[in-house]
Amino acid sequence: MDKTPLRILGIDPGLNHTGFGVIDVLGNTVTFVTAGCIHVPKGILSARLGFIHEQLSRIVSETLPTLAAAEIIFLNTNPKTTLLLGQARGAALASLASRGLTVEEFSATNIKNSIVGTGRASKLQVQMMVSRLLALQDQLQPDAADALACALTCAHSRQMRALGKEGSVNAAAGRLRTSSRSAWERFIQSRN
């Protein structure tokens, strides 16, 4: 068995703040590596997009991921906001692609369902479950938590694909959703 972990870089692109999170996956073991947030300075759009590209390239050089994961953007009610977010996401994806990384993409609903057990989870629920799943003591920045959630979803997705058809049938039947929901309910009860 190969003892080299799969290192996944998750990103949560944004024009003001781009979250990143890195995990190592070896079999069923997931280990936290690092996480943080790129705070993009105000200025002209092209300079801001270039900053995102440069900073993600630096993070890739420092962490050496083998795979990347990103959230698929949703359509905002404000078309201008959606367009700006799409440009920030494009700069991030171009940075990862220029470093030779494959990027797997997941919807926000898919990520929330994978981490919390429901696609309607709040940002706080995602943040708390990411901390719990990775046994982190410190509070994560929301953008970093979202990036780690994306990386964890990528890891879960790859495990499900490895299980093949049987795993897909079990997931479709709701068995995994039920166990995730039960874990979340136990966690909430333990906090009361």
* pLDDT the model gives residue 184: 56
pTM score, two decimals?
0.84
* pLDDT the model gives residue 175: 46
Whether 138 is a known active-site residue: answer no
Q: Which entry of 12, 104, 146, 166 is annotated as an active-site residue? A: 12
Q: Which entry of 2, 24, 62, 71 is annotated as an active-site residue? A: 71
For 6-191, the fitting CATH number among 3.30.70.1230, 1.10.10.2840, 3.30.420.10, 1.10.645.10 is: 3.30.420.10
* pLDDT the model gives residue 22: 99
* pLDDT the model gives residue 21: 99
* pLDDT the model gives residue 177: 47
* pLDDT the model gives residue 94: 97
Collect contacts of 146-149 with beta carbons under 8 A, ≥24 apart.
146/12, 146/19, 146/71, 146/111, 147/10, 147/11, 147/12, 147/19, 147/20, 147/21, 147/35, 148/10, 148/21, 148/23, 148/32, 148/35, 149/10, 149/21, 149/111, 149/112, 149/114, 149/115
Q: Is residue 47 pLDDT above 90, yes or no?
A: yes
Whether 104 is a known active-site residue: answer no
Whether 2 is a known active-site residue: answer no
Q: What is the tens place of the pLDDT at every residue in 164-182? A: 755 555 555 454 444 455 5
Q: What is the tens place of the pLDDT at every residue in 98-138? A: 999 999 999 999 999 999 999 999 999 999 999 999 999 99
Q: Which entry of 54, 104, 143, 166 is annotated as an active-site residue? A: 143
Domain extents for the chain? Answer: 6-191
